[in-house]
Amino acid sequence: MAKQANLAAGSAYKLRFDSDEQRQMAEAIDELCRRHASPDAVAGWDAEGRYPAEAMRALAEAGWAGLPVPEQHGGSGGSMMDLVVVLRALGRHSLALAQAYYSLWVLGAEAFSRLGDERQQAEWMPRIVAGEALVAFALTEPGAGSDAAALRTAARSSDGGFVVDGQKVFITGAAVADVIVTAVRTQPAGDNPRQGISLLLIDPRAEGVTVRPLSKLGLKALDLCEVFLEDVRVPERDVLGPLDEGWSALRPGLAGERLLLAAICVGATANVLELALEHAGARETFGRPLGHNQLILDKLVEMRLALEAGDLLACRAAVAVDDGRPADVDASLAKLHATREYVTATREGVQIFGGYGYTNEYPVARHYRDAKYLEIGGGASEIQKLIVGRSMGLGA
């Protein structure tokens, strides 16, 4: 029988909490995930490419969909730090569940509560609070990714509304969404392509909309779609936020997006570390537990160091947002670091598992496939570096 090593998985890291209340929130998420996002369930969603509907329903029933919604709209008005706590906890159980929570609930709650008019808020906020409205967000196009303002999907005025033609790509959750907040050009791109962009609420089931899920490397439980828009009629009342000023309307949400993606990575990296520690304790090579070999110990310590640094960076950015201080650079640093270190941890995690890590029998293989998108989506790593570089007076 393999000797059990003295490597305690539970003591691997200490995540930051600002209060007992936040600690209790994380414990409540853990408890819910033990019932609705068990390792077997998470493996099943991945193997079948199945959206985690039942776990999202359980989160909604427990009131978690209302966390990002301000109290005046019926939510619980959680702070950015509260969202860090919840996404970190979710990411530790299931990356896909955490990403669905963020992409389909948090983003929508933020957009509708900040930009929606009274009628739009009356229609959508109660459904968002109840977890009954999934909101996808479509900015990227085949010719406009990092340079998103180069978007060409056009909305021309017609009969008191708009007719939309164009194509979006890499849209998370479009196949399950109830509405897609879609960035379109309502004025031709002039000298400043950031002007003349508007956000429209588009029903994915409307005439002229075709949603096509893409086959992809990982994150199999959450769809990633192309969205084709052909003569799609959108009434004027479905403009979200100021007409022609959609680009500026998006800006205030960017720091939140980046730091929350970092928080998801912190949770997911914590899980990789836990899995690797457990294996390094149980697996014996050359007469002793794997984890006691210094080359393996080094990987585990580096993982923990990177994880704790990422946690601090994400929390620092969240506290800045909550205090109303500028957080763009802190959020970019957090995303850059936490995504890179999650990718590194999955590579080293698979290495620690050896051949077992390469099989889909072990969740570390899923982490390895999943992690990469986080260095691309939500503003790729190179773009985060440009933002940080600019803050030091470098680059354009």
Ligand X SMILES: Cc1cc2nc3c(=O)[nH]c(=O)nc-3n(C[C@H](O)[C@H](O)[C@H](O)COP(=O)(O)OP(=O)(O)OC[C@H]3O[C@@H](n4cnc5c(N)ncnc54)[C@H](O)[C@@H]3O)c2cc1C
CB burial of residue 374 (10 Å; 0-12, 13-18, 19+): buried
Give the nearest distance from C-beta 218 to ligand X in angstroms. Answer: 8
Least distance CB 90 / ligand X (angstroms): 17
- Closer residue to ligand X, CB minimum distance, 33 or 219: 219
Query: Shortest distance, CB of residue 2 to ligand X, whole angstroms?
Result: 38
Site residues for ligand X, window 210-229 (CB under 6 A)? 224
- Phi and psi based region of residue 378 (left: phi greater than 0; alpha: psi -120 to 50; beta: remaining): left
380 phi and psi angles, rounded to 5 deg: -65, 165
Return all residues near 117 (Cβ < 8 A) that are at least 6 apart: none
- CB-CB contact of 386 with 333 (8 Å): no
Q: DSSP assignment, residue 204?
A: T
Smallest distance from the beta carbon of 170 to ligand X, in angstroms? 4
To ligand X, the closest distance from the beta carbon of 56 in angstroms equals 16
Measured CA to CA, the distance from residue 17 to residue 317 in angstroms comes to: 14
Q: Determine, following the binding rule CB under 6 A, whether residue 383 of this chain makes contact with ligand X.
A: yes
Q: Is 160 left (phi over 0), alpha (psi -120 to 50) or beta?
A: left
Interface size with ligand X, residues (CB under 6 A): 17
Whole-angstrom distance between the N-terminal and C-terminal Cα of the chain? Answer: 61
Q: Is 377 in the site for ligand X (CB under 6 A)?
A: yes
79: CB partners within 8 A, 6+ apart: 318, 322
Among 28, 282, 380, 388, binds ligand X (CB under 6 A): 380
Can you tell me which of 226, 376, 388, 390 binds ligand X, judged by CB under 6 A?
Answer: 376
| Contact pick of 45, 64, 137, 353 for ligand X (by CB under 6 A) | 137
The residue among 32 and 209 lying less far from ligand X, judged by its C-beta, is 209
CA distance 203 to 178: 7
* Position 246 contacts ligand X (CB under 6 A): no
β-bridge mates for residue 141, sequence order: 144
Give the 3-state secondary structure of residue 228.
strand
CB of 12 to ligand X, least distance (A): 27
CA distance 340 to 357: 20
State in angstroms the smallest separation of the CB of 18 from ligand X: 29
Q: Which is nearer to ligand X, 101 or 353 (CB)?
A: 101
Q: Decide if residue 395 touches ligand X (CB under 6 A).
A: no
Residue 98 binding ligand X, by CB under 6 A: no
Alpha helices in 37-193 (DSSP H): 39-48, 53-61, 80-93, 95-100, 107-115, 118-129
Q: CB-wise, 220 or 299, nearer to ligand X?
A: 220
Pick the closer one to ligand X by CB: 145 or 291: 145
Distance of CA 292 to the CA centre of its chain: 35
The 140-159 contact track toward ligand X, x by CB under 6 A, reads x----xx-------------
Per CB under 6 A, the list member of 124, 170, 247, 342 interacting with ligand X is 170
Among residues 31, 61, 236, 382, the one that binds ligand X under rule CB under 6 A: 382
Per DSSP, 130 falls in state: T
Q: Give the shortest CB-121-to-ligand X separation in angstroms.
A: 22
Residues 46 to 85: which contact ligand X by CB under 6 A? none
- Binding ligand X by CB under 6 A: which of 120, 153, 172, 186? 172
Give me the residue whose beta carbon is nearest to ligand X: 145
Say whether residue 171 binds ligand X (CB under 6 A): yes
Site map 102..121 versus ligand X, x via CB under 6 A: -x------------------
Distance of alpha carbon 162 from alpha carbon 165, whole angstroms: 10
The distance of closest approach from Cβ of residue 379 to ligand X in the complex, given in angstroms and rounded to an integer, is 6
Distance CA 108, CA 83 (A): 14
What does the alpha-carbon distance between residue 230 and residue 374 come to, in Å, rounded to a whole number?
30
Interface residue with ligand X among 111, 115, 135, 139 (CB under 6 A) is 139
For 186, other C-beta atoms within 10 Å of its C-beta total 21
Q: Whole-angstrom Cα distance, residue 307 to residue 15?
A: 9
Query: Is 332 among the residues that bind ligand X (CB under 6 A)?
Result: no
- Which residues are near ligand X by CB under 6 A? 103, 137-140, 145-146, 170-172, 224, 373, 376-377, 380, 382-383
